[in-house]
């Protein structure tokens, strides 16, 4: 694709900023330049309206009422599950378990699948670029089962060390848990190849897709993974929503991890029996309105097209990378060959938190800190980074605002004479 | 942080926060060295920020005969630590503890009636609640050093 066409597409997507009411509000008296999409994305009017309409017209509990409204709410909830299936191209809707988000989805696999299947000495392979939510649940399960963690190191560019993953895989490897797109570095991992290698040694693979699903098409059948976790709120959907994809045979054999209503078939004090997946893993009244909002978010991004969103953000990433590298004193952290729309950086002589405060005064919202990926910061020997992360509504003017605000911080700190 | 303009007159606030004194102490922190002869030492750490420092004290007749610090962090935390060492050196321990309480109130509650001297420059932090922990880390660490507490001080 030529640069000209990419640019035209980019301009087309920026117009979608008008779909997001919050982007019209000033912050610190300035136009809001929202570049903290890795933390959470803003919500389009379509999502806000879907939740509102649900409460105004469709609210009832699901899977239990005989009355019309309950059936209606159940239909909407199950339609949302079908939307998630479509987003991930899962083979069956019953392979989709609704969760509060990525974190809960990973904990579900840890406490259900891993706790039931791992034995002392079994190995879980992770990477050094995992978010804490794909580290700590496995540490907990290691304490419970006697399994051990093996960690794939990363290079200075923020890519997995060549050959290291393969050398860690072995007959004791039971599970590989890896991030699709690194939230701290932007690195896109070669998931498909890694899944093939894991399967070759008989290991099960969980993919943390929190930073992937909103930014590129994801096809769990093409990736071949066994579990895929994501959050709705990073996909323009409501907070407290998300899902776990799990291969049917695996889910069917997994014990419940939370008990309550909706997840049982029969309950007696002598013992209870479990519902089939996915209900087995959805104890209690779920976030029904949230699921409806999530479905609206999926319709929204698929309506625009994830291929187009990916192309738009790739063009913006390339532009932002060039623009930041042209700023004296700026050092990028994470320069992998294949990256998503995340730019982590340091500015000489200015701590990321000071930078974050000064950028905020210009209306530029970024994340400053360790991004819940402390091992990544340790690897690079830094306390944290500043991070700009893009969404479909960002454009080149947002990058220009970021670069201008960095220059202002450098003038304030006296670290740049020409700015 | 609320309101139609999301934080009001940010630029005045920002200048209040980042005054020249802050930059000066960030670039050239005072009493910035380890102290082998210290009789009280404590560590402070804000894991979320990565701010980390060690405060050294030598007490004599109930006074802070000498104080120093080492560590790394943002401009606010480093300057606050540097200004703190200047403010407490030579003062009786009970006065130092009272100053800590008042300083904390200056940043978080009603400003107490007193002359804060150079510490007054940190009052601007009040408009930036997310940064209060940066400005108070050194003080909490000093407090732990004085009270002989062994756990690492944290302000987040």
pLDDT digits over B80-133, tens only? 999 999 999 999 999 999 999 999 999 998 888 899 999 999 999 988 888 999
A381 in contact with chain B, both atoms CB, cutoff 8 A: no
Mutate to test the interface with A, among B1, B2, B14 (most CBs of A within 10 A): B14
Judge whether B62 and B93 are in contact, CB under 8 Å: yes
Domains of chain B are: 31-147 (3.90.1010.10)
- Out of B4, B23, B74, name the one closest to residue A353 (CB): B74
Give CA–CA dist B87/B85, Å, rounded: 5
Judged by CB atoms closer than 8 Å, whether chains meet at A383 and B51 is answered as yes
Contact A358 B18 (CB under 8 A): yes
pLDDT in tens, A139-168: 999 999 999 999 999 999 999 999 999 999
Closest residue on chain B to A373 (Cα): B48
Q: Which residue has the tokens 């994340």?
A: A367
Give the closest of A358, A384, A412 to B50, CB-based. Answer: A384
Give me the residue from B23, B52, B74 closest to A414, CB to CB.
B23
Q: What is the mean pLDDT of residues B38-63?
A: 92
Contacts A350 to B, Cβ<8 Å:
75
A415 part of contact set with chain B, CB < 8 Å: no
Residue of B nearest to A382 (CA): B50
Beta strand ranges found along A101-147 (DSSP E):
123-127
Instruction: Supply the ipTM of this predicted assembly.
Output: 0.88
Give me the domains of chain A, ranges plus CATH numbers: 3-31+305-413 (3.90.1150.10), 48-303 (3.40.640.10)
Question: How far is Cα A369 from Cα A367, in angstroms, rounded to an integer?
Answer: 7
Q: A-chain residues within 8 Å CB-CB of B47?
A: 374
What is the predicted pLDDT for the residue at A9? Answer: 47
What residues of chain A score a pLDDT lower than 50? 1-11
Active-site residue list of A: 372
Closest CA to A374 of B47, B152, B46: B47
CB–CB of A358 and B14 under 8 A? yes
Q: What residues are paired with A173 via a beta bridge?
A: A123
Residue A2 has a pLDDT of 43
Mean pLDDT of B139-153: 87
Supply the pLDDT for residue A204: 98
Residue A278: is the preceding peptide bond cis (ω within 30°)?
Answer: yes
Nearest CA in chain B to A371: B48
Task: Work out whether the CA dihedral A219, A223, A226, A228 comes out positive or negative.
Answer: negative
């Amino acid at each position: 694709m030529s640069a000209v066409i990419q640019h035209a597409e980019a301009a087309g997507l920026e117009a979608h900023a008008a779909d997001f009411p919050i982007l019209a509000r000033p912050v610190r008296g300035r136009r809001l330049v929202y570049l903290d999409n890795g933390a959470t994305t803003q919500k389009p009017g379509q999502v806000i309206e879907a939740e509102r309409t649900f409460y105004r017209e469709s609210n009832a509990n699901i899977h239990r009422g005989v009355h019309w409204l309950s059936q209606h709410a159940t239909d909407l909830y199950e339609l949302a599950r079908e939307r998630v299936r479509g987003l991930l191209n899962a083979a069956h809707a019953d392979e989709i378990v609704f969760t509060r988000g990525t974190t809960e989805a990973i904990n579900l696999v840890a406490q259900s699948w891993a706790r039931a299947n791992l034995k002392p000495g079994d190995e879980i392979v992770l990477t050094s670029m995992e978010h804490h939510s794909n580290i700590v649940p496995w540490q907990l399960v290691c304490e419970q089962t006697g399994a051990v963690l093996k960690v794939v190191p990363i290079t200075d560019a923020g890519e997995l060390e060549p050959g290291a993953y393969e050398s860690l895989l072995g007959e004791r490897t039971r599970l590989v848990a890896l991030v699709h797109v690194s939230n701290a570095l932007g690195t896109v991992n070669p998931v498909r190849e890694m899944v093939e290698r894991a399967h070759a040694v008989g290991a099960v693979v969980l993919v943390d897709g929190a930073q992937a699903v909103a930014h590129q098409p994801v096809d769990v059948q093409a990736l071949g993974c066994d579990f895929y976790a994501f959050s709705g709120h990073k996909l323009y959907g409501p907070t407290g929503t998300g899902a776990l994809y799990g291969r049917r045979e695996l889910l069917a054999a997994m014990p419940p991890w939370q008990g309550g209503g909706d997840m049982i078939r029969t309950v007696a004090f002598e013992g209870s029996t479990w519902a089939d997946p996915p209900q087995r893993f959805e104890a209690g009244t779920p976030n029904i309105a949230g699921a409806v909002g999530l479905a609206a978010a999926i319709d929204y991004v698929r309506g625009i097209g994830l291929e187009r969103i990916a192309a738009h953000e790739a063009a913006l990433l390339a532009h932002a990378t060039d623009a930041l590298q042209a700023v004296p004193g700026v050092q990028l952290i994470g320069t992998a060959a294949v990256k998503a729309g995340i730019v982590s950086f340091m500015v000489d002589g200015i701590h990321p938190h000071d930078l974050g405060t000064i950028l905020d005064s210009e209306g530029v919202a970024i994340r400053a800190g360790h991004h819940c990926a402390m091992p990544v910061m340790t690897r690079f020997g830094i306390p944290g980074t500043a991070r700009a992360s893009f969404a479909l509504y960002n454009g080149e003017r947002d990058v220009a605002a970021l670069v201008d605000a960095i220059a202002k911080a450098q003038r304030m700190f006296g670290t740049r004479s020409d700015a | 942080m609320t309101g139609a303009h999301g934080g009001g007159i940010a630029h005045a606030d920002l200048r209040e926060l980042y005054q020249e004194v802050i930059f000066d102490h960030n670039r050239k922190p005072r009493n910035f060295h380890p102290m082998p002869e210290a009789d009280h030492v404590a560590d402070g750490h804000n894991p979320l920020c990565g701010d980390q420092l060690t405060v050294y004290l030598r007490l004599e007749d109930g006074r802070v005969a000498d104080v120093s610090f080492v560590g790394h962090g943002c401009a606010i935390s480093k300057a606050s630590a540097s200004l703190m060492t200047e403010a407490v050196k030579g003062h009786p321990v009970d006065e130092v503890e009272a100053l800590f309480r008042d300083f904390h109130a200056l940043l978080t509650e009603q400003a107490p009636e007193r002359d804060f001297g150079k510490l007054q420059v940190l009052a601007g932090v009040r408009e930036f609640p997310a940064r209060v922990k940066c400005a108070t880390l050194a003080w909490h660490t000093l407090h732990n050093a004085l009270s002989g507490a062994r756990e690492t001080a944290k302000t987040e």
